[in-house]
Structure 1
Amino acid sequence: MTLTDFRTDFPEFTDTAKYTDASITFWMGIAVSLVNPDRWGVLTDQGIELVTAHHLVLAQRDQAAAAVGGVPGEVKGPTASKSVDKVSVSYDTGAVALTDAGFWNLTTYGVRFMTIARTMGAGGMQL
């Protein structure tokens, strides 16, 4: 798994000013410790990429908040509704949130990771 592989598989992270090589490498290093290759097998790299993407999105939210004088690291859940002038929209966040997934529900990458991770622990394992 390389930085180039990650950017190829997740082209939404190709903006090197927004998603620096250093930040991707940092989160990828953490992701490696969270994805057990004995369990994930041929999907190990995909698990690492999903964890990395999840953390990059959260880090970018923190950077965006700090850039406008907000509080970086403030915990916020998924947006359920939003209004601008006379227009409003709301979403059923419960329809896409995984039960007991906690902070992994904060991004679509986290939800994808947890969906796959839950199947990785199913059944027996022979080494």
Structure 2
Amino acid sequence: MTKNSRLPTNDQFRADFPEFADKTRYPDASVNFYLLQADTILNQDVLGDQFVYLSELFTAHYTELRGRNLAAASAGGVSTAGSGVAASKSVDKVSVSYDNSGTINPDAGFWNKTGYGQEFFWWWSMFGAGGRQLL
């Protein structure tokens, strides 16, 4: 039984985020696992009408990372890919570095690894932030 009565289902998640329709790359087991993690970590009473969307962003972030790992594993390796724009690379001994300065929130850390995580972090950080004044 879930803690939050409004937790989206696997089908609802895939309908709202159709880019996750490929069940080979994004298996039901992964989606369901991360939906249950969202249920554990997030609270619909605090997040109100944003609960479903934040749960889905949370799930999309982790499911995308898992999908990268599964794709790498099917090719006989592991995913060690970074994120952002490649700033340099090497061919011998294979090396690459990324410039994330224009695309990340320096406070978001791990959430910067996907666009879903970046958006999740922004929305999540708005709760409890209080009023803001724009100049």
Q: Could you say which structure has the higher helix fraction?
A: 1
- Structure 2 counterpart of 1:11, one-letter code: P
- Structure 2 counterpart of 1:121, one-letter code: G
1:57 maps to 2:64: yes
* Range moving further from structure 2, 96-105 or 110-119: 96-105
Distance of aligned partners of 1:99 and 1:79 in 2 relative to their CA distance in 1, 3 Å threshold? closer
1:46 maps to 2:21: no
Deviation at 1:92, TM superposition (A): 5.4
- Structure 2 CA distance for aligned equivalents of residues 5 and 17 of structure 1: 18
- Structure 2 counterpart of 1:107, one-letter code: T
Write the deviation string for residues 5-44 of structure 1: whole angstroms up to 9, x where unpaired. Answer: 1011000011122222221111110111222223211010
- Structure 1 counterpart of 2:16, one-letter code: D
- Structure 1 CA distance for aligned equivalents of residues 9 and 46 of structure 2: 21
1:12 match: 19
> What TM-score, normalized by structure 2, do the two folds share?
0.76
How many equivalent residue pairs?
116
Write the deviation string for residues 87-114 of structure 1: whole angstroms up to 9, x where unpaired. Answer: xxxx852222112211100000000000
Q: In percent, how many aligned pairs have the same letter?
A: 42
1:114 match: 121
Tell me the secondary structure at the aligned position of residue 95 of structure 1.
coil
Structure 2: stretches of 5+ with no match in the other structure: 1-7, 90-97
1:28 maps to 2:41: no
- Structure 2 CA distance for aligned equivalents of residues 9 and 110 of structure 1: 16
1:78 match: 83
1:98 maps to 2:115: no
> What TM-score, normalized by structure 1, do the two folds share?
0.80
